[in-house]
Structure 1
Amino acid sequence: MADLKSPPFSDIKRPEEVVRMTTNDSLKFAVLIGLIEVGQVTNREVVNTVLHLLVGGEFDMELNFVIQDAQNIQHMLELLDHCPPSLQAEIWSVFIAILRKSVRNLQACTDVGLIHHVLQRLPRAETVVADLLIEMLGVLASYSVTVKELKQLFSAMKAVNGKWPRHSAKLLNVLRQMPHRNGPDVFFSFPGRKGSAVVLPPLARWPYENGFTFTTWFRLDPINSVNIEREKPYLYCFKTSKGVGYTAHFVGNCLVLTSMKVRGKGFQHCVKYEFQPRRWYAIAVVYIYNRWTKSEIKCLVNGQLASSTEMAWFVSTNDPFDKCYIGATAELDEERVFCGQMAAIYLFGEALTTHQICAMHRLGPGYKSQFRFDNECNISLPENHKRMLVDELSTCHTWFTAITAEVLYDGKLSSAIVFMYNPVATDGQLCLQSAPKGNVSYFVHTPHALMLQEVKAVVTHSIHSALNSIGGVQVLFPLFAQLDLPHDAPATDPKRDPMLCSKLLGFVCSLVESCSTVQQHMLQCRGFLVISHMLQRCSRDHLTPDTLASFLHLTKHLVTCCSPNSDLLLKQLLDHILFNPALWIHTPAAVQARLYCYLATDFLADAHIYGSVRRVSTVLQTVHTLKFYYWVVNPRAKSGITPKGLEGPRPAHKDILTIRAYILLFLKQLIMIGNGVKEDELQSILNYLTTMHEDENLHDVLQMLISLMSEHPSSMVPAFDAKGGVRTIFKLLSSESQLIRLQALKLLGFFLSRSTHKRKYDVMSPHNLYTLLATRLGASGEGLALPVYNALYELLTEHVGQQILYTSHPEPQPHFRLENPRVANSHGVHPP
């Protein structure tokens, strides 16, 4: 180790002298640390020097921002340990910006295990620095997180002495970002330097008789944003030694397809699509060969046709194609090498159809297999994506039509693979040809390709694979038990984050939405039951609108997704979370109103939901919720019912009425799904009306029953008769409230007006109920008030309306008849 206190190191006084030193970077960082400790440099000078050493030259956010040596990141960490918080914050803020700028920078951090080092430093960091470290961890972990790093992250959040460790709760922000990945876990990385490419072995001939198709997922990741118009990076180049063949290269954001017929002469076509840097695209270039008419070229981007043209692309030659490159031309010059990432690379010996390419796109960028077995992909495709009708339909939206022909997994696609290079199937710089062994070989000798210069296969680790290795989603559940714990933080730090629960729950829901394995884990461990139990033991302050939004978003996802576990998972989510009033009764009224508004409107609007909620138990559960939780007046005194939900604050009276309105709307729609009301469902409503004696608790439920009887008599009348609903009516007629008595008369009127003569006779006559009706109305002691008279008049003529009339009824029409004359005979009174 060199002595930094001796010349020439002791002669260094300024940061600009550090970068000019003719020594290794570790010594340069050591000298810079010495300058910081003696206070000879400003913060800006240190930042500039560190960035210069990282990128190997003058740093520029547009021109020079790629980290050249990953080991310098470790040297930077050592330097940061000697910096004040303000300087650390400056360095970290710029460092985060360059991480977002390039995947190669993210990979450099992964190579040195930066997540591990940052987690070690987090508890000691000042708040301003800790926030930046959390932000950077989110960026790094969403790119790649190993099992060891994930275990360390969870360990950092484990409570110590009944408290959250310092800054540990902020790590939930990191978890929240992890599922947000939009690329493959493994890919080829092209650095964009001279000589970097994947070179293919010579092909004896080119497969043209049935056309051919080149397809891959790629991402442009330019070294700088200034030379993008000057450079012409090549996606592929398949040529003979005479310079004839097929190429595809980028000019700016456009892709140009070239068919070189003779050296220097050929045809070109510009694809009408703008490819943005740093975004993943699925591309398929289809060469269609027609012997007697003009041939065609089609380019599909993300499963959709982007451009097509008629072009005589066929190159007639007997020479072998011995100048074949992925990501470059034969010259391998710097201006024409590809800079970015590619997933698995396929060449098919036939012109694939639009529908095949649409289905392949649906498999996602992570697919890297041979289309031999439909279970080789962990993405759940509908059956009609696996076996789709081959006709002239032009878009992916036609997948839900009648399906007769197999497309992806009938063996034809697999047998058509000419070559396939998979970033997983590599050995050093050798890239193994991974097409099925029985396929026709077009290669002269060995089919394996070679990765030149710094092209390499990169393997990253998603949160899904890492989480599965440490026990699955259930390892997150103990964090719910820590939500109410205090934080180990100085008094000057801000109070605990009220969004802790929504962040944790949002992370769990994102995992469930994005991974079928997590869905299976949630089913096996009854995850929603556990979460519901944990949340009921915590403060209801955690059940914020954002927490509810996470549940509702997951519900919408499970309703529409095609996973085999989605139906069972949806039922558990509904039973243990959304339909669990004990969980929500003490939350803010706005949260409860939003929940039941969703259930009453958007939830039942989707036809796919019926199979999961069309159960008698759901109706019974909802009526139970009204009875025991969302009562308007406490039912203990008059009804003798022990109410629930008294352990904490309840919504105000007006909010209870609003929530009940949503619940009853949901209940009404739920009852009428399918073939109408079921007898057990109606029985639960009648039981409610019979056992509840508070008028305020009866009015809205009775009004809903009247509405059902009026609007759906075909199913309501027989069920009402079968369950003895008239007994409930006469119970209601003894109410002290005139409004309840009037509603009971309305209900009786609708029932009788929609019943046959035989049904009316069988219900009313055996027990002389018309006389009992007069007795019940007379028992009120109020005489025959006008609204009661109007209701009896409607009952007499069977022209019943839902509205209660408090003024004189209209004059009877000529066609009106006395349908129930015993109503008048039993009362023997005239209108007041």
Structure 2
Amino acid sequence: MSSEKPVSAPPNSASSLTDTDRDSYPPPGSTVQQPQQQVAAGAGSGATGERMVSSAGSMVLPAGVINPAVPIRNIQMKFAVLVGLIQVGEVSNRDIVETVLNLLVGGEFDLEMNFIIQEAESIGCMVELLSHCEVTCQAEIWSMFTAILRKSVRNLQTSTEVGLIQQVLLKMSTVDDMIADLLVDMLGVMASYSITVKELKLLFSMLRGDNGIWSLPPVPLIPRHAIKLLSVLNQMPQRHGPDTFFNFPGRSAAAIALPPIAKWPYQNGFTINTWFRQDPLNNINVDKDKPYLYCFRTSKGIGYSAHFVGNCLIVTSLKSKGKGFQHCVKYDFQPRKWYMISIVHIYNRWRNSEIRCYVNGQLVSYGDMAWHVNTNDSYDKCFLGSSETADANRVFCGQLGAIYVFSEALNPAQIFAIHQLGPGYKSTFKFKSESDIHLAEHHKQVLYDGKLANSISFTYNAKATDAQLCLESSPRENASIFDVKAIVTHSIHSAIHSIGGIQVLFPLFAQLDYKQLNDSSVDTTVCATLLAFLVELLKSSVAMQEQMLGGKGFLVIGYLLEKSSRVHITRAVLEQFLSFAKYLDGLPHGAPLLKQLCDHVLFNSAIWIHTPAKVQLSLYTYLSSEFIGTATIYTTIRRVGTVLQLMHTLKYYYWAINPLECSGITPKGL
């Protein structure tokens, strides 16, 4: 190329290094003394320290300098090369975005075909690299990264393992407003999946204000975007699926192999129950693959299995090699969504046996099926998430919750009650107080009468051991030789208990009148945001309701609302209080907390007197009509005390003529 000329490479550019040098090249952010490069004379020279630049100014790099598929260079090296090119301004923002995404997925990035993060270390390298990029480039990368996280639980788990939440929180004090909005969105996605106690403590420490402002000038741990972080709280309770689950990567032989089963339970029928979530690696082979949910067979190939064909589930009973019966569960199972599947085999000695399939507690498919396999052989080819061949086209790709096999054909009431326990349940139906979920009394009776507990043949879950089940127990720090991982995530409900419970939110209500740094106005949405988060937590946990009741939470909140500016008491705030009042009214044991809410908030006129007339009208319309007409009204309020409180309200707050002159009473609410 006669139009090209050699130029000296910048000190930080890895394209000037030999392969040997590249292996020892430091990661971004480290400081290393570099010898000054010399300019070589003569076109076409290939000496070390030179790169070729065409007459048009575009870079002609040696083939594969940052090729994601090249195995001889580690991921830090590849990002270091890119940082060097950014520092000398030799790459466009478009190229930076494409290269970063390609490096993350270890190939050519595609949001539908190739979006799984291959190396956890690449996430930290990406965060470091972004400090060298322009704001618009950072925004595009963070936006795409959030889309990648939403696409797969694997990406969320990888980001959780490298502590990305903590890294991002520590950067919040220095980022641009546009980047802060994107980071808050990403934090919400990650925190709804898992947030540790340490990360939650860090988040709350960043919400602590001082001297009347939500945050101080940028110093460590105190961001400029504190109010924006409040929206992360609202996204935390919005999690779907269990806290612990088995993660199947969809690779050959990635399955759970069970010990041999001497004799299959059939005389009373049997039921297989689990929660599952399909998480395909891409959309290419969805119609070709036949991933197995479970497979219980003998060495002769006969037994029971269930596999997916497209979005349908096929339940199979092989009675001899290549011969048997199949039942198609015609339900549209969508990828990346949790479902509870219950497959009930009903045994009839004198007439046709039956199969019934339930999805999310509802019967969706049934029919006659001679499913009984008559054999004395042990079932020694038993797998969860795979067929007995365990080849790549027949392994499950996704997540499984707790798996139960019952030696009874469960009835519809039992299956519906199990579904009410939610995907996080992993116990053995022995103790009524084991679940933190509101259950109707008839559901508790069905679940804990001993029949379910006594009929469990075996159960597996990602957290516990039971009976003869022995989980792989090598030291945790050792590298695992298994592909299927038992994942334990941390929900906001478990994390907040470790830092003091629901009470840690109360100090935030004392900061309602705080202002943002360099902003003279008060944000009036903070109160509604905090209440929405508080109400969501209370609705989802009996334990937190008990904490709220014992700690007189609504007394504290009512007092703090009295002391704060009335601009915070908006229609949205009232709707949060009323929605929670209606929720408590429908609970069998919600009366004590509803009474506390009424006494200290709804009947507290000092809170509402300065709000817009429409807000007050909505409140008293509800109290005088819908609330007074409920069946629990007489157990919720004190008849005499409430009448006195309302008389006091009329006398001091809603007077028609100023009572000061004629009675000496100093009116309130002026």
Please state if 1:362 is matched with 2:420. yes
Greater C-alpha Rg: 1
1:104 aligns with 2:154: yes
Distance 1:600-1:226 versus aligned 2 partners, 3 A rule: farther
Instruction: Pick the aligned partner of 1:424 from 451, 457, 463.
Output: 463
1:558 and 2:587 matched: no
1:630 aligns with 2:664: no
* 1:768-809 Cα deviation digits (max 9, x unpaired): xxxxxxxxxxxxxxxxxxxxxxxxxxxxxxxxxxxxxxxxxx
* Aligned counterpart in structure 2 of residue 583 of structure 1, from 607, 610, 616: 607
Quote how far apart the aligned CAs of 1:484 are.
Answer: 1.0
User: Which of 51, 57, 67 lines up with 1:19 in the alignment?
Assistant: 67
Q: Distance in 2 between matches of 1:337 and 1:294?
A: 32
Choose between structure 1 and 2 for higher RCO, CA contacts under 8 A separated by at least 6 residues: 2
State whether residues 201 and 448 of structure 1, in contact with CA within 8 Å, keep that contact through their aligned partners in structure 2.
no
1:469 aligns with 2:498: yes
CA contact (8 A) 1:201 1:447 kept: no
CA RMSD of aligned residues (A): 2.1
Alpha-carbon distance in structure 1 between the residues aligned to 2:348 and 2:638: 55
Deviation at 1:600, TM superposition (A): 2.7
C-alpha change, 1:452 and 1:211, in structure 2 (3 Å) is farther
Q: Is the 8 A contact 1:200 1:449 kept in 2?
A: no
Structure 2 residue 231 is matched with structure 1 residue 173: yes
The worse-fitting range, judged by mean Cα deviation, of 335-344 and 617-626 is 617-626
Change (3 A) 1:197 1:608: farther
Give SS of 1:312's match.
coil
Letter paired with 1:536: E
- Indicate the SS of the match to 1:424: coil
User: 2:650 and 2:281 mapped to 1: Cα distance?
Assistant: 63
Q: Which residue of 1 aligns with 2:30?
A: none
Match of 2:454 in 1: 415
The runs of at least 4 aligned residues of structure 1 exceeding 4 Å deviation read: 9-16, 446-452
Amino acid at match of 2:601: I
Match of 1:498 in 2: 524
- 8 Å contact kept, 2:515–2:523: no
The equivalences for 1:361-760 within 5 A come to: 361-387=419-445, 407-425=446-464, 432=465, 434=466, 437=467, 448=470, 453-489=482-518, 497-562=523-588, 564=589, 566-613=590-637, 615-638=639-662, 640-646=664-670
1:19 maps to a residue whose letter is: N
Secondary structure (helix, strand or coil) at the match of 1:386 reads: helix
Find the aligned partners of 2:470 and 2:267 in 1 and give their Cα distance. Answer: 24
Offset from partner CA, 1:262-306 (integer Å, 9 cap, x none):
111211111132112222111111001001011011111111111
Could you tell me how far apart the structure 2 residues matched to 1:360 and 1:411 are?
14
Asked if 2 retains the 8 angstrom alpha-carbon contact of 1:480 and 1:535, the reply is: yes
Partners of 2:481 and 2:344 lie apart in 1 by: 27
Deviations 1:157-215 (A, max 9, x none): 11144421210111100011111112111111111122111111111111111111100
Aligned residue for 2:447, secondary structure, equals: coil
Q: How many angstroms does 1:589 deviate by?
A: 1.4
Percent same amino acid among aligned pairs?
57
The answer as to 2:347 corresponding to 1:299 is no
Whichever residue aligns with residue 104 of structure 1, its letter is R
| Alpha-carbon distance in structure 2 between the residues aligned to 1:202 and 1:448 | 14
Q: 1:495 to 1:253 in 2, by over 3 A?
A: farther
SS at match of 1:619: helix
- What is the distance in 2 between the residues matched to 1:287 and 1:359? 18
Is structure 2 residue 112 aligned with structure 1 residue 62?
A: yes
Question: Matches of 2:521 and 2:665 in 1, distance apart?
Answer: 42
Deviations 1:578-637 (A, max 9, x none): 111110000111211121222233323443444213623223322332232122332333
Structure 1 residue 518, shift from structure 2 partner:
1.3
Q: What is the aligned residue count? A: 605
d(CA) in 2 for partners of 1:3, 1:158: 43
1:135 to 185, 188, 196: 185
> For residues 338 and 265 of structure 1, what CA distance do their matches in structure 2 show?
24
Assess if the C-alpha contact under 8 Å between 2:79 and 2:126 holds in 1. Answer: yes
Instruction: Work out whether residues 4 and 31 of structure 1, in 8 Å CA contact, stay in contact via their aligned partners in 2.
Output: yes
Quick one: distance in 1 between partners of 2:643 and 2:309? 62
Of 117, 121, 144, which aligns to 2:171? 121
Cross-structure match for 2:400: 342
In structure 1, runs of 5+ residues without a counterpart are 388-406, 426-431, 438-445, 647-832
Higher helix fraction (1 or 2)? 1
Cα offset, 1:639, TM superposition: 5.0
1:116 and 1:190 map into 2 onto residues whose CA distance is 27
Q: Name the residue aligned to 2:42.
A: none
Pair 1:33 & 2:83 matched: yes
Could you say if the C-alpha distance between residues 86 and 233 of structure 1 is closer, same or farther in structure 2, counting changes exceeding 3 Å?
Answer: same
Question: Aligned partners of 1:117, 1:235: CA distance in 2, in Å?
Answer: 37
* 2:208 alignment partner in structure 1: 158
**C-alpha offsets along residues 536-594 of structure 1, whole Å, 9 cap, x if unaligned?**
111111111111111111111111134x4x22111100111111111000011121112
How much does 1:380 deviate? Answer: 3.5
Gaps of 5+ in 2: 1-10, 23-48, 52-58, 216-223, 473-479
Shift of 1:506: 1.1
